[in-house]
Amino acid sequence: MALPRMPAPIRLRELIRTIRTARTQAEEREMIQKECAAIRSSFREEDNTYRCRNVAKLLYMHMLGYPAHFGQLECLKLIASQKFTDKRIGYLGAMLLLDERQDVHLLMTNCIKNDLNHSTQYVQGLALCTLGCMGSSEMCRDLAGEVEKLLKTSNSYLRKKAALCAVHVIRKVPELMEMFLPATKNLLSEKNHGVLHTSVVLLTEMCERSPDMLAHFRKNEKLVPQLVRILKNLIMSGYSPEHDVSGISDPFLQVRILRLLRILGKGDDDSSEAMNDILAQVATNTETSKNVGNAILYETVLTIMDIKSESGLRVLAINILGRFLLNNDKNIRYVALTSLLKTVQTDHNAVQRHRSTIVDCLKDLDVSIKRRAMELSFALVNGNNIRGMMKELLYFLDSCDPEFKADCASGVFLAAEKYAPSKRWHIDTIMRVLTTAGSYVRDDSVPNLIQLITNSVEMHAYTVQRLYKALLDDISQQPLVQVASWCIGEYGDLLVSGQCEEEEPIQVTEDEVLDVLEGLLVSNLSTPVTRGYALTAIMKLSTRFTSVNRIKKVVSIYGSSIDVELQQRAVEYNALFKKYDHMRPALLERMPIMEKTASNGPTEIVQTNGEAEPSVVEAKHPPPVTQPTNQANDLLDLLGGNDVVPVIQTTVPTKPASAGGELLDLLGDLSLSGGPAPAPATSVPSSQPAFLLDGLTSPPLFNDIAAAGIPPMTAYNKNGLKIDFTFERANPNPNIAVITIHASNSTEADMTDFVFQAAVPKTFQLQLLSPSSNVVPTLNQGTVTQVIRVLNPQKQQLRMRIKLTYTHKGSAVQDLAEVNNFPPQSWQ
């Protein structure tokens, strides 16, 4: 007696039709739930006949976004079935529903193993496909042997699938790569394009992962000639209907071969030479009217640029990119910009030739193209084109979408710092950015800009005037307001006294200035940080203005401000007025020039001068934000892909000596690679500017200099302290003399806190690197070494004045000396 059977589950297509009639989400959900329930019961009945249909329906519902995990085991049952129909759906289900995070997937391994050896190639194909798409590491380990066997079969249908399956195995378990090596021996002698293509992919994967493999394929297998031959056949061969795409024979294979050639040729002269001709041929003969031809050209260009190609070929490649830039097809323009960005470092001049086209792309309507054009434009800015380029970029900044503004502003600042033709231009550019895109400027730009402004001493009056005028117009853009407040606080006296040389000085009274600053304090537009700036600025003006009483009043009001930061400041300033008034002038005096600490490296320290004055005024700046991950640095990273080469500014303003002390000129190497922002000005209000120490570029220079055979000399010898100078020439720049001092101590006590300082005449520039230590050990047991670099562009006679300070037997010793006995070779 037959048990009453459930009605046959509805067919897949019918279910799809039904679900599509649902008018609301809720209706659909209801249908799905009903069907899922039916499917679940059907699964429970272990019904073989309809399992396939049910799983298929489940997969459809899964695609719509509904949970289908209860079907996982059913997939496995389907895979284990003898029927091809079942396996087809079962394997598909496995690929869609299962992955290595479910333990269930391991149960597949045995089935796959069996199916890999099935008599029907389509079953084998299913197994290979599933393994190759989602096989876990364990599965790959277990089944790699089977895959390797199939890689050697003569059945091209299976061979191609085995090849890509092997690629997956290698990706999952790289150690297994070796075992596939023998099977690759004659892969490329196949005629079948499917096998050829997948073989090239496999070879590429192996070469990319293992330098040993790469070397092996280059030398032993002579891969390059084989690939060149295949490529040549593709190009020369006649029309082949099954592989043809718009007149080109198997572009997919061509591109893959070009890519493998790129890897083989990179860094290898012989390989690069062997492929030179074919690359030239492809580059010149490929049809460019359709996308497919351009795809091949694109890959060719990438290959030419990456290998050791001869210059003619490189120029050909860049010109192809240049033509791409003028193509009507947006995609091609985009791809050209991307490629040019990759090559701009290595072939800078060639890319420069296309600068005007690139700049035009800034006006493109397409967002992706605009972004690439912007990045590339910044990469092309140099000392020669800075004015023109900046005009275009500032125009872009005005009109671009907000998503670009932050990056563009940062880029403008960076470029301006590197290549500003004049201080005035620099300040004007900064002003332009602050006033047009002020709210998008990154927060860490504020300390950078302030530091820049302090360095341009002769522009202080002009700067503060312009900033003041900008404030009158608009106080909503916080970075602008912050920089302006700071400057007014510092240079308010210049503002009021109308000293501006660069432009018509404005007439403004102290009260007007204080009005503006107080306005900032009360405005709703000002952030707490801005208010802090404003309050400090007002306080500083108490030493620069005469209306001290007004300032006292303002400060005392904020002593009870709700904002804790403001309150603290106000209370401290109040205390200054009341109890420490005698200190106020010293504390609030003009800031010394802040040095930007050179980026990274343990060898750099900003060495302030010997006078051990306590760090009195901690400038109330917001804590320095490390710059690194900002977009400007990404820009620099994009350009190289390799380490960023810092730019050494060769024309640097020599800082005049401030009050008192020796002539101390500095080679201000403002290295601008992506490093941390300048440290806050722990301003020791010492009379002499600090030394800038640049460890970035110097050490390598020293290593590869042949000692120019300049004799060493004794520069100083007194009271047991002896200082010798040894010389080298800095290789890339013959005007730089590199001197190493060696300090030794012949007394019976150590010389501690040893500081060596040097000054040179105005036509020279000097840079002092960090000393090896500041203790000169007793009885000549060791030396302190320190490196000096002297730039002597006018080749004048080198003279130096040195100052030595140290502590010896408990007392401080200081001495000055002139060094005149430099050997002529050191400065000629």
Partner 1 sequence: TPLTDREKKKVIRDMMMLVLARPPRSCNFLQWRDLKIVYKRWYASLYFCAGLEDKDNELLALEVLHRYVELLDKYFGNVCELDIIFNFEKAYFILDEFLMGGEILETSKLAVGVSMEEADTLQEEEKEQEEVGKTDKERFACGRGLRE
Q: Which of residues 153-182 bind partner 1 (CB under 8 A)?
A: 157, 160-161, 164-165, 167-168, 171
- Quick one: tokens of 743? 């300090």
Nearer to partner 1, 128 or 400 (CB): 128
Using DSSP's 3-state secondary structure scheme, residue 816 falls into: strand
Q: Check binding of 88 to partner 1 (CB under 8 A).
A: yes
Minimum distance between the CB of residue 715 and partner 1, rounded to whole angstroms? 55
Q: Which of residues 218-257 bind partner 1 (CB under 8 A)?
A: 241-243, 245, 250-253, 255-256
Report which secondary-structure segment, H or E, holds 818. strand 811-819
- Quick one: tokens of 73? 């085991």
Number of residues that bind partner 1 (CB under 8 A): 68
Residue selected from 120, 189, 285, 497 as contacting partner 1 according to rule CB under 8 A: 120
What residues contact residue 826 under an 8 Å CB cut-off, 6+ apart?
Answer: 710, 727, 737, 739, 798
Spatial contact of 816 and 726, defined as CB atoms under 8 Å apart: no
| Distance between CA atoms of residues 117 and 150, nearest Å | 9
Residue selected from 201, 412, 639, 743 as contacting partner 1 according to rule CB under 8 A: 201
Report which secondary-structure segment, H or E, holds 751. strand 751-759
Nearer to partner 1, 248 or 521 (CB): 248
* Amino acid found at 30: E
The piece of 60-68, 354-362, 671-679, 782-790 that touches partner 1 (CB under 8 A) is: 60-68
Q: Check binding of 341 to partner 1 (CB under 8 A).
A: no
Nearer to partner 1, 168 or 426 (CB): 168
Residue selected from 33, 85, 763, 828 as contacting partner 1 according to rule CB under 8 A: 85
For the chain, the residue count is: 828
Minimum distance between the CB of residue 294 and partner 1, rounded to whole angstroms? 6
Q: Check binding of 298 to partner 1 (CB under 8 A).
A: yes
Nearer to partner 1, 303 or 744 (CB): 303
Binding-residue pattern over the window 312 to 331 for partner 1, x denoting contact by CB under 8 A:
------------------xx
Q: Which long-range contacts (CB under 8 A, 24 or more apart) does 721-728 make?
A: 721/745, 721/747, 721/751, 721/776, 721/804, 721/806, 722/746, 723/756, 723/802, 723/804, 725/819, 725/822, 727/823, 727/825, 727/826, 728/702
Q: Check binding of 193 to partner 1 (CB under 8 A).
A: yes
Binding-residue pattern over the window 124 to 153 for partner 1, x denoting contact by CB under 8 A:
-x--xx--xxx-------------------
Minimum distance between the CB of residue 38 and partner 1, rounded to whole angstroms? 20
DSSP string covering 556-594, please? HHGGG-SSHHHHHHHHHHHHHHHT-TTTHHHHTSPPPPP
- Quick one: tokens of 59? 């997969």
Q: Classify burial at 312, counting beta carbons within 10 Å of its beta carbon; exposed 0-12, middle 13-18, buried 19 or more.
A: exposed
Q: Check binding of 65 to partner 1 (CB under 8 A).
A: yes
| Distance between CA atoms of residues 555 and 574, nearest Å | 6
Minimum distance between the CB of residue 87 and partner 1, rounded to whole angstroms? 10
Nearer to partner 1, 402 or 709 (CB): 402
Minimum distance between the CB of residue 175 and partner 1, rounded to whole angstroms? 18
Minimum distance between the CB of residue 413 and partner 1, rounded to whole angstroms? 24
| Distance between CA atoms of residues 529 and 621, nearest Å | 9
| Distance between CA atoms of residues 640 and 343, nearest Å | 9
Minimum distance between the CB of residue 359 and partner 1, rounded to whole angstroms? 19
Q: Check binding of 333 to partner 1 (CB under 8 A).
A: yes
Minimum distance between the CB of residue 148 and partner 1, rounded to whole angstroms? 17
- Quick one: tokens of 522? 């009360």
- Which runs of consecutive H residues, i.e. helices, occur in 46-155? 48-63, 72-80, 84-97, 108-116, 121-134, 137-151
Q: Check binding of 48 to partner 1 (CB under 8 A).
A: no
Nearer to partner 1, 134 or 571 (CB): 134
Residue selected from 29, 34, 83, 809 as contacting partner 1 according to rule CB under 8 A: 83
Query: Could you identify the residue written with the tokens 């101390």?
Result: 664
- Quick one: tokens of 170? 């290698």
The 8-class DSSP code of residue 705 comes to P
Binding-residue pattern over the window 345 to 384 for partner 1, x denoting contact by CB under 8 A:
--------------------xxxxx---------------
Minimum distance between the CB of residue 334 and partner 1, rounded to whole angstroms? 5
End-to-end CA distance of the chain: 116
Positions touching partner 1 (CB under 8 A) are 13, 16-17, 20, 56, 59-60, 63, 65, 83-85, 88-89, 92, 99-101, 120, 122, 125, 128-129, 132-134, 157, 160-161, 164-165, 167-168, 171, 193-194, 197-198, 201, 241-243, 245, 250-253, 255-256, 259, 291-292, 294-295, 298-299, 302, 330-335, 365-369
